[in-house]
Each structure stands twice: as structure tokens, then as C-alpha cells.
Amino acid sequence: MADRPLLSESSPETRYLFSLTAVLVCSVAWLSIVAYNGTALEIGKVDWLDVLGESALAFYSLVLLALIAVPPLPDSLRTLIFVGLSMLFIGAITDVADEFVSVQLTFITAVENLGKSMGVLVACFGLYRLIFQIHSSEKSARELRVVADFDDLTGLGNRRSFNQAVRAAIESSGQGQPAAALALLDVDNFKVLNDAFGHLEGDKVLRVLSRMLSSMLREKDTAFRYGGEEFGILFHNCNLEEARLAAERIRVAFAEMRIYSDDGVEFCCTLSAGVAIVRPGDSFGTLLKRADEALYQAKHDGRNRVEVASPRLAVLSTAI
């Protein structure tokens, strides 16, 4: 013969039924006491303000008892809250019944005092555990979003968030919003730098560039590292020339910056950039292709320069 499942192992519907049954038993017991003590219904012997307050407390506990069966709470936490609310309900409903009892019973007084005090403590502890768990879950979710959407090395948005932001900008432009522009940046001769100074120095260059982008861009603009030494900038509410000038300022500032290796060796880097404006009917692929073609043209024309996408720009098959 199989063992019967514990209450904590039962379905939410079973626990709800158990809660409701307990509430009904307490309610029937209270009504029985009232019916047995008929003379207790005299107006002069009943503190109706106390009855109203305790009834409200009992009703509130009953509502919470019903609600804890709905959300996906851990069984241990659900049981803890259930016990606390049940004790609180029993204490409150016993206090109401005590107002209609003509004889003062020590047992009833003890039940109502102990039930309410212990019920409040247990229920509050359970609710504290619940709030702590919700906070921990939200914190974990935020940390997962950071891991999913941001580059660990630079702190900028990664390829995933880059794709999402560009698609959203294209969709907004198609709905009559102000124009947006995309700039693709690539550190020149980055492989040579890595071979000469090592990958740690290469990482330092990428962090320097990411900090520069964050400090030089407007609040409405966003920078991303979408792969290796490749960066993307999404300019909002600007035309092609404004985006080109912004990319040019970044190019000049990066070329003028001096970087020092851990051995004290001074070196500098340059970057090339391609800029394209969001056009009507653009897709993610067409916009990215035009910006990438402009970037390739900048590389092809000698690096350390900014090019804008042009209808006459040749599509070159390989990147430098």
C-alpha cells in the first residue's frame, strides 16, 4: 500500500481545498458557540467595534489563505505561510466568538491570544522569506540579462543587444520616427598589435576605445562591441552627415590617444569606420551591408578614415 502524499507534496488545488476545509471547520465551530449561547446576542454585552475589527482580520487571513495556493511558491514556504495565516485566522475568529460567549473561558482566551501572536510572527516570517526569494530571483534575472546582453570585457552591449537595437531602430524609422544612422568601427591592424604586444595589451586597447565611446557619445546614442575588434554605434535622431562627423571626432580622438603597455612601451592605434543612414524599406541585412561596405572602403583607401555609404559604393568581396 503506497504512502499518502504529504500536504506539501500535494497539488495547489488540494492545498486550497485543505485551507478552505480548515476555514469552514473554524467557522462552523464559531457559529455553534454563538447558537448555544443565545443570551450572548444582547447588544449591551457585545463589543461590536472589536467584532468588526477581528472579523476583518479573519477575512483578510482567509483571502490570503486562498491566494497562496495560486502562485508557484516552494512547498516549504507555502506551508510556512499557510500555518501562520491559519493560526492568525483561528485567533481572530476565536476572539470574535468570545464576544458572544457569556462565560469567560481561559482556554478560549489562550487560543485567541496565542493564535494571533504566533500567527502574526509565523506569517510575517514566511512573507519575509517570500520577499527575500522574489528579490533574489529578480537579482538573478538581472545578472542573467547582463550576461546575455553585455560584453564582459568592455561593458558595452554585445552582438545580441546590437542586433536587437538595430532592428528596433529600423522599425521605429519605418513608423515615421526621426532618422537613425549606424556606424561600424574596426581597430586597424589589430592582429599585428596582438602579435607584437600580446592579447592582454590588445584587450587594453579595446577597453580604452569602449570608454572613449561611452564618454563621447550622446545619451541617446549607443555603442556596442559586436565581435573581436569590431564596434557598432547606433545614432538616433541624426542625419548621415551628423553621424559621419561624430564618427570622425571619435576617430581623431582615438588616433591621438597614447597607450602604454605594462612594460612602459608607448604605442597608438587608429580605427576605420563606415556610416550608413537608415532608409525606408531597410532591413537589418541591407543596413548592415551598406555600413560594412563603407567600412571596407575606408580600409581599402588606407585605413584611419571614415567613409559613408553611397549608392555608387562598390561591393567588395573581402575585408582587410
What distance lies between CA 74 and its chain's CA centroid?
21
- Residue 283 predicted with pLDDT over 60: yes
- Asked whether 157 and 151 are in contact (CB, 8 A), the reply is yes
Residues in the chain: 320
Specify the pLDDT at position 136: 66
Q: What is the pLDDT of residue 280?
A: 87
Domain 159-308 in CATH: superfamily? Reverse transcriptase/Diguanylate cyclase domain (3.30.70.270)
Q: What percent of the chain has pLDDT over 70?
A: 50
> What is the domain partition of the chain in residue ranges?
7-148, 159-308
Q: Which tops the pLDDT comparison, 21 or 247?
A: 247
Which tens digits make up the pLDDT trace of 15-59? 544 554 554 455 445 445 444 444 444 444 555 555 565 666 666
224 forms bridges with which residues in the sheet? 157, 232
User: Is the confidence at residue 162, as pLDDT, over 90?
Assistant: yes
Cα of 80 vs its chain's centroid, Å? 28
pLDDT band at 150 (very low <50, low <70, confident <90, very high): confident
Check whether 235 has a pLDDT greater than 80. yes
pLDDT for residue 163? 93
- Let me know if 293 is a catalytic residue: no
Cβ atoms within 10 Å of 312's Cβ, excluding its own: 4
> What pLDDT does 129 receive?
66
Rounded distance between C-alpha atoms, residue 142 and residue 119, angstroms: 34
Average the pLDDT over 208-230 and give the result: 93
Instruction: Find the catalytic residue in 54, 112, 201, 229.
Output: 229
Closest C-alpha among 172, 191, 296 to residue 234: 172
Residue 300, pLDDT > 90, answer yes
Q: Which three cell numbers stand for residue 166?
A: 538595430
pTM of the model: 0.57
